[in-house]
Structures are given as C-alpha cells and as structure tokens.
Amino acid sequence: MGVEDLVKAVRYAWLTYTLAFINVAVYLYELHLSDSIAGPSVYALLKLALVNVLVTQHHEWWRLFTAMFVHLSWIHLAMNTFFLIYLGSQLELFVGRWRYLILYITAGLFGNVLSVALMDPYTISGGASGALFGIAGALIMIEGILKKNIQSALANAFFLFLINSWMPHVNAIAHLGGLLVGIAFGYIYGNYVKERMMRMLYWDEFY
C-alpha cells in the first residue's frame, strides 16, 4: 500500500483507524502504569482490564467498556489492530460509521457481560476481540444474506469462532458474545440491503 492509498484508507474509514489509535494509546498507558516496555503489569491490568469480581462485587461497571481497549501483550495488540483495520474498514465503508460504531461497542460490551456472567469471578481479561468477532460475524452474515446462503454463513462464522477460541488464555466467551451480536446485526442489515435492492429493481422494471 502506497502513501496515497493509505491516505485514502484513513480518509474513508477514519473511525476504524481512530479505534486502532485508541487501542495503541491505551496500551502505551498500560506500559506507563507498568513502568516497563516489556508488557502490562498486574497492577496496570487491575486498574483497567475486566476483573470480574470487581464488576460484580464492587460495581465497577465501567470496566465492561474500558476492557475493550486493554491488551495483554504486544502480540495481542498487533493481531487485534491488524484485523480491526483489515475487517473494520470494510464494514465501516459498507454500513456507515454510526452503525459500525454501534455494532463495535455493542459486540464488545455483550462479550464482556457474558464473560462476567459465565466465567470465574477472579478472571482478568481484556482486548478488542469481542468487538472484532462482532465485525467478522456481521460481514459473514451480510454476505450470506445477499448470496442467499445463510446456512453456509453460519457455518463459516462458527468455524471462525472455533479456530480462534480453542487456545489457552483466550476469552472464548467474549468471542462468542461478540460473534452473536455480529450475526444478529448482519442478518438485520443484510435483509435491509436486500429489500432496498429488490425495490430498486422493481421500480427499474416498472418504469
């Protein structure tokens, strides 16, 4: 990608790049709290990440939101940022910025809520993965609706979930929560686009 291509990408999908920038900025703040460039300390994670017991017993509900921007290592940040830019820019351009932002936040929040509800109280987690699975689920389902192959889309979505959620220290519950939100969004929006396309074809034929 040349400089001109990068400028165009940032211009037309600036919300995706803004979210990526926030992820990087929060990670740098984690390193600042840790007083280290090697990776976030337990202290930094306790300050910012999703700590289930602090949500349920101390009512620190804000962690459901902040945890979406907290990452546990450089590799974790790099992988999520790559897929955010690669997938998120596509969805942002297709559905529009506000719908995209609503999906991103809703998928991330729902994944974290499920994590608190279903996982060990002393679990500490963070990352954009729930929101990213929301993006992936939406893209897959929109394509399935428009190509009239919902069963295949669902199979692809859950295959994506399985191959990315079996490893240790991965919050599979957050992945699943985000994916379900993305599938629901993709189903609704895909049918909306399909209906509009059918109306346009009808009026073209009528006139």
Among residues 89, 115, 125, 175, which one is catalytic?
Answer: 175
Token couple for 170: 């991965």
> Percent helix, strand and coil across the chain, each rounded to 5?
80, 0, 20
164: which strand partners? none
**129 a catalytic residue:** yes
Placement of tokens 């460039």 in the chain: 37
Among residues 89, 115, 125, 129, which one is catalytic?
Answer: 129
Residue 146 makes CB contacts below 8 A (sequence gap 6+) with: 190, 193, 194
Placement of tokens 């959620």 in the chain: 165
Token couple for 32: 């600042």
75-105-127 Cα angle (round to 5):
20
> Is residue 49 within 8 Å of residue 67, measured between CB atoms?
yes
| CA gap 181, 133 in Å, rounded | 9
| CA gap 39, 51 in Å, rounded | 18
Token couple for 53: 């017991």
51: which strand partners? 124
Active site residues: 129, 175
